[in-house]
Amino acid sequence: MWHETDSAGAAVRGKSDWPFYCGLGLLTSVYLILIVTMLLAAGSYTTWGHLGAAFSSPAIRYSIRLSLLSCTLTTLLSLCVGVPTGYLLSRFRFPGIGVIDALLDVPIVLPPLVIGLCLLILFQTSPGRWLQGWVPITYAIPSVVLAQFTVSCAFAVRTMLVTFDQISPRCEQVALTLGCSRTQAFWTVALPEARRGILTAATLVWARSLGEFGPVLIFSGATRMRTEVLPTTVFLELSTGNIEAAVAVSLLMIVAAVVVLAITRAFGVRGHREFLP
Amino acid sequence: MVSEIFSNDRRRRGAIVRGWLVALGMIAAVGVLVLLLWLQGRAGAQARGEGSDTLLVYCAAGIKPVAEEAARDYLKEFHTTVQLQYGGSGTLLADMQVARVGDLFIAADASYIRIAREKGLVSQTVALAKQRPVIVVHKGNPKAVKGLADLQRPDVSVAMANPEAASVGRVAQKLLEKTGQWKELKQHVRVFKPTVNDVANDVKIDSVDAAIVWDSTGRQYPELELVHVPVLEAGVETVTIGVLVYAKHPERALAFANYLAQADRGQKLFAKYGYETVAGGAASRPATESTH
């Protein structure tokens, strides 16, 4: 196929396409080389000994567990909110939809530190304080999930909105004419069709939460064995000059990211392609 | 035809049930995760030996090694957990005003405690240790940095702590402004970082050649070498701890502050990590006033 188009094009136009292909290849490889050398450089800054020492530290183990648990919970919560919100915005038109659409993008555009600060201030207001009388949030584990959720949910909403936009409402309309209620049409037609989009949203949210640092630092603090997630560990190890442990934990996060990408690919979903607004 | 619709209907109902199962499964999964997180929190609290007695301490990042070890010892001896929150002294000062919780504030120099007192955030204070700014370079001093003049050489790249965020940056700025060297050096500094350790890290991984940090910080890095400079030596500062007005049990907070100042407890740790202690002979030298 490659040869066919190449020779056919060359015969008609009398010009070679090779410079074009070379240009494409060159520009792509520049970025690939950057990614690969970056990973190799990080890898060269640590040894098996450092990795072993890092992963036998109880604080780092705690942060691995907390990261995995909080990211998974964040993912589920984001889907619970993101799927219906995306469906609502995609299928229905009502006054004020433009404002809602814009508001839902705010967490994506706001700098992470600002989100953390806003959350911190929110929970010092009197309703926030009242709530904290029941459940401690600021500087405790719930704040980690809340900080991750605030940012990641916006990505879930965006992904699901695009997903439902790409699914023709025709099938649901047919279901309605056949006697389905709106609820039934959603559960039996729209949701199964959006399966791949949901999976994309889930991986995107999970990976995004794993790397979330700005809001967590401000809103949850950097307390060892309490609100310490993996990016916090990297930060804490760096702040005591233990660069080797910081790199070891970074490598772990790189591996986790690669695994997530591999899972996404295995289910045949092309990364963020469906996410592009 | 009728049977076809009927069977469709049945299949659809099956799918509806599956829809509710999805919803229920989701709720169950969320419940399980919340439970696991709660257990995780408890496990962490137990690992830290946390009971109902917990002190939240805002701690200047440079003091971290001492504070961490002191917190461990204190827990063993008095069964009180000390929870540490790190940052640059200036950053922490801003944090605690927003959060309005916490028991103690360890600042890298007394001026932040003074500011905190002026803002009505701090009641009692205790002096803990002394430190002074020095130049640090990589072991062996490959660029032969001997003094402040060398920091302005074009072949020497310099990192400094941000004067707004970290104590050492502010102190160095004050000292160099007096000698009129600040403006030039500021132009030459390649990067400003938020805490003193970030600056020392830069020298450790060779991304800059020299930096101005606390002597105590420099001593905690085996990869670094200290270059003492008279102008900077003058800037002796006192690591100070203050009891916050937000403290629920100020007497318990003060007890930990005194523990850090105790010669055979906290002071031993400060000495171990390369600080000049206040309990030693140097105590007679008033800290902030000696800055001329």
Q: pLDDT, tens digit, for every residue of A146-188? A: 999 999 999 999 999 999 999 999 999 999 999 989 988 898 8
Is a pLDDT exceeding 80 seen at residue B70? Answer: yes
Among A46-50, B120-124, B269-273, B286-290, where is mean pLDDT lowest? B286-290
Across the range A193-202, mean pLDDT stands at 89
pLDDT attached to residue A14: 67
B64:A223 CB<8 A: no
pLDDT attached to residue A157: 96
- What is the Cα Rg of chain B in Å? 26
A238:B201 CB<8 A: yes
CA distance A229 to A65: 8
Chain A: nearest CA to B280, how far in angstroms? 26
Among A135-139, A151-155, A227-231, B288-292, where is mean pLDDT lowest? B288-292
**Cβ atoms of A82 and A159 closer than 8 Å:** yes
pLDDT attached to residue B283: 33
CA distance B189 to B204: 17
pLDDT attached to residue B2: 42
Across the range A27-55, mean pLDDT stands at 89
Q: What residues of chain B lie within 8 A of the CB of A225, using their CB?
A: 44, 47-48
CA distance B144 to B139: 11
Beta-carbon contacts below 8 Å between A and B: 106
**Mean pLDDT, chain A, as a whole number?**
86
Give CA A44 to chain center in angstroms.
27
**pTM confidence score:** 0.73
Q: Which residues of A touch B (CB under 8 A)?
A: 58, 62, 65-66, 69-70, 72-73, 76-77, 79-80, 117, 120-121, 124, 138-141, 145, 178-180, 184, 186-188, 191-192, 218, 221-226, 236, 238-241, 243
Domain extent listing, chain A: 1-45, 48-275
Q: What residues of chain B lie within 8 A of the CB of A218, using their CB?
A: 95
Across the range B143-148, mean pLDDT stands at 91
Pairing state between β B104-107 and B237-244? antiparallel
**Residue B109 banded pLDDT, cuts 50, 70, 90:** confident
pLDDT attached to residue A277: 40
Q: What residues of chain B lie within 8 A of the CB of A226, using their CB?
A: 41, 44-45, 48, 83
pLDDT attached to residue B234: 87
Is a pLDDT exceeding 50 seen at residue A78? Answer: yes
Is a pLDDT exceeding 50 seen at residue A275? Answer: no
pLDDT attached to residue B195: 84
Percent of chain A with pLDDT over 70: 90
CA distance A23 to B170: 50
**Cβ atoms of A108 and A155 closer than 8 Å:** yes
Q: What residues of chain A lie within 8 A of the CB of B99, using their CB?
A: 120, 124, 138-139
User: Residue A218: which of A112, A74, A117 has the closest Cα?
Assistant: A117
User: Residue B204: which of A50, A142, A239 has the closest Cα?
Assistant: A239
What's at B267, amino acid-wise?
A: Q
Domain B133-233 sits in CATH at: 3.40.190.10
Is a pLDDT exceeding 90 seen at residue A125? Answer: no
Percent of chain B with pLDDT over 90: 38
Q: Which of A239, A244, A247, A250 best probes binding to B when mutated, by most B CB atoms within 10 angstroms?
A: A239
**Cβ atoms of B106 and B60 closer than 8 Å:** yes
**Residue A259 banded pLDDT, cuts 50, 70, 90:** confident
CA distance A46 to A243: 9
B40:A243 CB<8 A: no
DSSP-assigned states of every residue in A196-220:
HHHHHHHHHHHHHHHT--HHHHHHH
CA distance B26 to B174: 58
| Nearest residue on chain A to B100, alpha-carbon basis | A124
Is a pLDDT exceeding 50 seen at residue B4? Answer: no
Give the number of other CB atoms < 10 A from CB of residue A271.
12
- Is A124 in a helix, a strand, or coil? coil
Give residue-wise pLDDT tens across range B183-202: 989 888 888 888 888 899 88
**Cβ atoms of A214 and A222 closer than 8 Å:** no
B19:A221 CB<8 A: no
Give residue-wise pLDDT tens across range B230-276: 989 888 989 999 999 999 889 999 999 999 999 888 999 999 988 88
Q: What residues of chain A lie within 8 A of the CB of B37, using their CB?
A: 66, 69-70, 73, 141, 145
| Nearest residue on chain A to B22, alpha-carbon basis | A187
**Cβ atoms of A222 and B85 closer than 8 Å:** yes
CA distance B287 to A114: 37
Is a pLDDT exceeding 80 seen at residue A6? Answer: no
Fold adopted by B54-130+237-281: D-Maltodextrin-Binding Protein; domain 2 (3.40.190)
Is a pLDDT exceeding 70 seen at residue A5? Answer: no
B56:A139 CB<8 A: yes
Half-sphere exposure of B150 (CA within 13 A, CB side): 17
Give residue-wise pLDDT tens across range A230-242: 999 998 888 767 7
A141:B37 CB<8 A: yes
Q: Which of B40, B101, B195 has its CB closest to that of A239?
A: B195
Q: What residues of chain B lie within 8 A of the CB of A179, using their CB?
A: 9
CA distance B82 to B68: 9
**Cβ atoms of B261 and B267 closer than 8 Å:** yes
Fold adopted by A48-275: MetI-like fold (1.10.3720)
User: Residue B86: which of B161, B160, B162, B165 has the closest Cα?
Assistant: B165
User: Residue A88: which of A189, A190, A204, A181 has the closest Cα?
Assistant: A190
CA distance A228 to A223: 6
